[in-house]
């Protein structure tokens, strides 16, 4: 692994040459990252999930064509050109991984967290999900729960539709969205 001083110099060298050549602007990099730090993240996916919980017709459209259903809420675009939502129930539990790199539904969940990109997650989730979920994420699933691991190896970007927590029957959509976590939409947590 290179040290931080070397990495900082390599990054500045690339940026300065690209700016000098007029290929990018001096303002471009910060403007782009700001978008991902301030506008895009799991709060968007939480809106989708909360809508599906309160609106059965929307939920059906979401499970049939998540790209179109998310589009109804103005959610979509880069790295979410083809979205699929998979439903977690008491009997079937889906979990999402990308073993080859780090494919992730950016417009719904933002850019992926470190654990999702880690070699440990990528190597082990497809082979021993029951153990990884129980031991590393504190999510022990009953033997009767069927586990489906979705490896995002082509163009579809997946997220999971978690079960609505019990005791929230009289909550409105906004309050519901507040309890939906990123982890529950990747399938490493339940609510």
Partner 1 sequence: MDGPHDLGGAQGFGPVRFDPDEPLFSHDWERKVFGLTMATSTVGLYNRDENRHARERMPADEYRSTSYFEQWLVAMETNLTELGVLDASALRERVAEFLEEPDREVRGKDQPDLFELFRDTLEFGASLDRPAGPARYSVGDRVRAVRDAKPGHTRLPAYVRGHVGVVHRVDGSFVLPDTNAHHEGESPENTYNVGFSAHDLWGKGDHEVLVDVWESYLEPA
Q: Which residues 83-112 are close enough to bind partner 1 by CB under 8 A?
A: 84, 97, 99-102, 110-111
**Out of 103, 118, 152, 184, which one is annotated catalytic?**
103
Question: Judged by CB under 8 A, does residue 134 bind partner 1?
Answer: no
Site for partner 1 in 56-75 (CB under 8 A): none
Q: Hey, what are 33's tokens?
A: 């990252």
Q: Which of 45, 62, 76, 108 binds partner 1 (CB under 8 A)?
A: 76
Residues within window 3-32 making contact with partner 1, judged by CB under 8 A? 4-32
Termini Cα distance of the chain: 38
CB 182, min distance to partner 1, A: 7
Told to check if 179 binds partner 1 by CB under 8 A, we report: no
> Catalytic: 2?
no
Asked if 103 is an active-site residue, the reply is: yes
Catalytic residue among 70, 91, 102, 118: 102
Residue of 101, 118, 152, 184 marked active site: 101
Can 70 be counted among the known catalytic residues? no
Q: Is residue 93 within 8 Å of residue 149, measured between CB atoms?
A: no
- Report the residue number, 5 or 166, with the smaller CB distance to partner 1: 5
Q: Which is nearer to partner 1, 92 or 172 (CB)?
A: 92
Residue 93: what are its φ and ψ, rounded to 5°? Answer: -125, 120
Q: Which backbone phi and psi does 156 adopt, to 5 degrees?
A: -75, 140
Tokens of 103: 């494919």
- Residue whose structure tokens are 């939906």: 180
Helix (H) or strand (E) holding 116: helix 114-117
> How far, in Å, CA of 162 to CA of 83, rounded?
16
Query: In sequence order, what E strands does 20-89 have?
Result: 83-87
Catalytic (active-site) positions = 98, 101-103
């Amino acid at each position: 692994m290179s040290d931080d001083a070397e990495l900082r110099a390599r990054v500045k060298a690339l940026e300065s040459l690209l700016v000098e050549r007029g290929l990018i602007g001096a303002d471009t990099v910060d403007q782009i990252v700001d978008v991902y730090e301030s506008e895009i993240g799991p709060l968007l996916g939480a809106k989708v999930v909360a809508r599906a919980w309160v609106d059965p017709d929307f939920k059906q459209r979401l499970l049939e064509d998540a790209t179109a259903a998310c589009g109804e809420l103005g959610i979509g675009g880069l790295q979410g050109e083809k979205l699929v939502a998979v439903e977690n129930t008491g009997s079937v539990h889906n979990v999402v991984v990308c073993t080859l790199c780090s494919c992730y539904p950016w417009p719904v969940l933002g850019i992926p967290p470190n654990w999702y990109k880690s070699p440990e997650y990528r190597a082990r989730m497809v082979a021993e999900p029951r153990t990884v979920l129980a031991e590393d994420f504190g999510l022990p699933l009953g033997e009767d729960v069927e586990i489906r691991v979705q490896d995002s190896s082509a163009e579809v970007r997946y997220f999971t539709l978690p079960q609505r927590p019990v005791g929230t029957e009289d909550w409105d959509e906004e309050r519901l969205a507040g309890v939906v976590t990123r982890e529950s939409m990747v399938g490493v947590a339940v609510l």
